[in-house]
Amino acid sequence: MSIGKFTGIGVGPGDPELLTLKAVRALHEADVVIAPRTEKRDDSIALSIARPHMRSETEVLELIFPMVYHAESLSDAWKENRRIIQQRLDAGQNVVFLTLGDPMFYSTYIYVFELLQGCGHPIETVPGVTAFCAIASHHGMPIVEGDDVLSVVPATISPEKLEKVLAVSDRLVLMKISRKFEELRQRLQKHGFADHALMVSKCGQPEEEVHEDFLSVRAEEVTYLSTILTRRNQSVSATASGVGVIKNAKKAILAVSFGTSVVATRVANIDLLERELQVAYPDYEVRRAFTSKTVRARIAAEEGIKVDSAQEALERLQQEGFDEVLVQPTHIIPGEEYDRLTEAMMEFHQNGAFASLKLGRPILCQEGNVPGQVDDFMIAVEALQTQLPVCAEGERTRVILMGHGSGGHVADRCYDLLQERLETAGLPVFTATVEGARTFEEAVEWLEREQAERVVLMPFMLVAGDHALNDMAGPEEDSWQSQLTEAGYRVESVLRGLGENPAFRKIYLQHVTEAVPFAETAACDCK
Ligand code: CO
């Protein structure tokens, strides 16, 4: 007896000639074809697309897959469907599951795929052409070109999320257009996305409808399966208020980080911060630079992504004719990395490369001794308070911060100033550093004096990268976590960078607002 195989195929948007050869072969070899239906619709479009490629004797099962899927508490309908599929596979039949468009793209198949993991049969997924790809080719409308950023947006997302997407995208694919069409149209218009919008319903099917004049579409003409392709009007950029304005000066914010090759923490901290900067300053183009040569080299080797150094990023901005450049370091202290950054900026300042070149402060810079200046250290302590653990009653919990530190650099004393403020605020927190004067040994002594029972470790760095993952929380004997565990404490490590705390992102945003022209940049107080 043959072994039953499960194949999920994308049948494309409607034209039966847009199936892949692999999908056609799977259909031809199928014993059973499953045409999924939701409760809402009674005809299977996917089946009518696949039909010309199926043998007449192939059995068709039209199963209802409810839209709602909970892996933990499967509904009866899902359980029953799994039972039916399993039975067919165990009987040695080849089962093909149909999906409109592509199986891994907003599809019921994604849940079916998850559901069948461990079913004991081979599972294969065959990609399909999505509606937006077909529309683009059919109507001669490029999806993305050059450096364009494309967002694929289900129109069902919240208005807040949609506003953020509209602020940072060059081109859009909008799907699941539904009842709130009028509201959606107004938002697109506001952000300059209405002029080139093309809306297509039932793409590639005989009843295909094309609306080239987006502004005159009536809400009742819009069906759930409509897709909109659009790009931002070239002369319009969004503003904080969301009202389109004509671009004049070319302005950029260069976010300069040490960088990290740990992708997850980079996404959770640096990407997020840069995105928030872009949303907060929509008439600036937010660019990235990493100061660490090692990190840049590793990202290039491992991910094939080239990240600019500060020098390279500034060169490109100059070549591209930017008028105003604001550099915001994401560093914690004005240490070595910060010095390297200001050195790089000096050249551009002296050459008059930009009409305006500004620099924002790192997290810890001003002490607030000068009238009109805030105390960065106290603000950092306040931000930190939002992420401190709740102490269980009767248990002595103490927090150790892992700062990076910069041994021998004058700015290393920023960590002492931070510690002073933590103590003033009466917080049970000790600042130690990896490479600075405040050592882990001192933290251990402090814990003893404090008679701590439970210890929470957290990085005082933008990202939870190498230092946090290895030196702080790694499994090796000499990690902070291992040493403290060995010493009898109940230890927890918080593997989140400061960038994951909205209060710290807010500080960076504030420092952008308070950036000063480069020449007038006074050295930070702790230097
Ligand atoms: Co380091």
Judging by DSSP bridges, how do beta strands 356-359 and 516-517 pair with one another? Answer: antiparallel
Percent of the chain with pLDDT over 70: 94
Lowest pLDDT segment from 199-203, 267-271, 301-305, 491-495: 199-203
User: Residue 291: beta bridge partners?
Assistant: none
Is 521 among the domain residues?
no
Q: Tell whether 313 and 387 lie within a shared domain.
A: no
Q: Tell whether 410 and 461 lie within a shared domain.
A: yes
Provide the domain count of the chain: 4
What's the pLDDT score for residue 525? 66
Q: Which amino acid is at 326?
A: L
Is 517 among the domain residues?
no
Containing domain of residue 106, as a range? 6-128
Residue 67 region by backbone torsions, left for phi larger than 0, else alpha for psi between -120 and 50, else beta: alpha
What's the pLDDT score for residue 248? 65
Q: How far is the CA of 258 from the centre of ligand 1 (A)?
A: 9
pLDDT tens-digit map of 360-392: 999 999 998 888 889 999 999 999 999 998 776
Check which CATH number belongs to the domain holding 98 and give it. Answer: 3.40.1010.10
Higher pLDDT, 191 or 245: 191
Q: Tell whether 285 and 319 lie within a shared domain.
A: yes
What's the pLDDT score for residue 506? 96
Q: How far is the CA of 526 from the centre of ligand 1 (A)?
A: 20
Q: What mean pLDDT comes out for the span 92-107?
A: 95
Calpha distance 155→132 (Å, rounded): 14
* Final residue belonging to a domain, choices 76, 108, 128: 128
Q: Tell whether 416 and 311 lie within a shared domain.
A: no
What's the pLDDT score for residue 31? 96
What's the pLDDT score for residue 241? 34
**Cβ-contact 326, 252 below 8 angstroms:** yes
Q: Tell whether 268 and 323 lie within a shared domain.
A: yes
Nearest residue to 397 (alpha-carbon basis) of 448, 442, 444, 455 = 455
Q: Report residue 105 as tokens.
A: 């793209």
**Cβ-contact 368, 376 below 8 angstroms:** yes
Determine how many CB atoms are found less than 10 A away from the CB of residue 517.
Answer: 12
Buried b (16+ CB within 10 A) or exposed e, 308-335: bbbbebbbebeeeebebbbbbbbbbbbb
Strands, DSSP E only, in 464-524?
Answer: 490-493, 516-517
pLDDT greater than 70 at residue 244:
no
Is 525 among the domain residues?
no
Q: How far is the CA of 452 from the centre of ligand 1 (A)?
A: 28
pLDDT band at 201; cut points 50, 70, 90: confident
* Final residue belonging to a domain, choices 75, 99, 128: 128
Is 265 among the domain residues?
yes
pLDDT tens-digit map of 434-453: 999 999 999 999 999 999 99
Alpha helix segments (H runs only) across 336-479: 336-350, 376-385, 414-424, 440-450, 466
What's the pLDDT score for residue 422? 96
Q: Tell whether 219 and 291 lie within a shared domain.
A: no
Q: How far is the CA of 473 from the centre of ligand 1 (A)?
A: 15
* Final residue belonging to a domain, choices 221, 245, 269: 245
Phi/psi of residue 35, each to 5°? Answer: -105, 105
pLDDT tens-digit map of 146-172: 888 999 999 888 888 888 899 899 999
User: Residue 264: beta bridge partners?
Assistant: none
Is 523 among the domain residues?
no
Strands, DSSP E only, in 41-118?
Answer: 59-64, 95-99
Q: Report residue 160 as tokens.
A: 């807040």
Q: How far is the CA of 439 from the centre of ligand 1 (A)?
A: 14
What's the pLDDT score for residue 76? 85
Phi/psi of residue 198, each to 5°? Answer: -120, 125
Mean of pLDDT over the chain: 90
Higher pLDDT, 123 or 234: 123
pLDDT greater than 80 at residue 238:
no
pLDDT tens-digit map of 468-515: 999 999 999 999 999 999 999 999 999 999 999 999 999 999 999 999
The alpha carbon of 326 is separated from its chain's Cα centroid by a whole number of angstroms, namely 23
pLDDT greater than 60 at residue 227:
yes
pLDDT band at 120; cut points 50, 70, 90: very high
DSSP 369: -
Percent of the chain with pLDDT over 90: 68
Q: Tell whether 384 and 494 lie within a shared domain.
A: yes
Strands, DSSP E only, in 46-101?
Answer: 59-64, 95-99
Calpha distance 222→509 (Å, rounded): 40
DSSP 268: I
Higher pLDDT, 27 or 247: 27
Check which CATH number belongs to the domain holding 234 and give it. Answer: 3.30.950.10
Q: Report residue 288 as tokens.
A: 């990235």
Determine how many CB atoms are found less than 10 A away from the CB of residue 306.
Answer: 9
| DSSP conformation letters of 152-202 | EEETTS-HHHHHHHHHH-SEEEEES--TTHHHHHHHHHHTT-STT-EEEES
pLDDT band at 237; cut points 50, 70, 90: very low
Report the greatest alpha carbon distance in the chain: 86
Calpha distance 435→405 (Å, rounded): 5
pLDDT greater than 50 at residue 245:
no
End-to-end Cα distance, the chain: 78
Lowest pLDDT segment from 37-46, 182-191, 217-226: 37-46
Q: Tell whether 414 and 489 lie within a shared domain.
A: yes
What's the pLDDT score for residue 214? 81
Query: What is the side-by-side strand order in the sheet with 285-290?
Result: 285-290, 251-257, 324-329, 356-359, 516-517
Q: How far is the CA of 290 from the centre of ligand 1 (A)?
A: 14
Q: How far is the CA of 466 from the centre of ligand 1 (A)?
A: 8
What's the pLDDT score for residue 520? 59
Q: Tell whether 261 and 227 lie within a shared domain.
A: no
- Catalytic residue from among 404, 409, 467, 511: 404
**Cβ-contact 300, 330 below 8 angstroms:** no
What's the pLDDT score for residue 243? 35
Q: Tell whether 38 and 79 lie within a shared domain.
A: yes
pLDDT band at 240; cut points 50, 70, 90: very low
Q: How far is the CA of 435 from the centre of ligand 1 (A)?
A: 7
Check which CATH number belongs to the domain holding 354 and give it. Answer: 3.40.50.1400
pLDDT tens-digit map of 410-437: 999 999 999 999 999 999 999 999 999 9
Q: How far is the CA of 518 from the centre of ligand 1 (A)?
A: 27
Q: Report residue 400 as tokens.
A: 């150790």
Calpha distance 7→21 (Å, rounded): 14
The alpha carbon of 415 is separated from its chain's Cα centroid by a whole number of angstroms, namely 31
Is 527 among the domain residues?
no
What's the pLDDT score for residue 165? 92
pLDDT greater than 90 at residue 461:
yes
Q: Tell whether 147 and 111 lie within a shared domain.
A: no
pLDDT greater than 70 at residue 138:
yes
pLDDT greater than 90 at residue 465:
yes
Higher pLDDT, 270 or 393: 270
404 counts as catalytic: yes
Q: Tell whether 88 and 19 lie within a shared domain.
A: yes
Q: What mean pLDDT comes out for the span 74-85?
A: 89
What's the pLDDT score for residue 69? 76
Is 420 among the domain residues?
yes
Q: How far is the CA of 467 from the centre of ligand 1 (A)?
A: 7
Is 357 among the domain residues?
yes
pLDDT band at 522; cut points 50, 70, 90: low
Q: How far is the CA of 297 from the centre of ligand 1 (A)?
A: 15
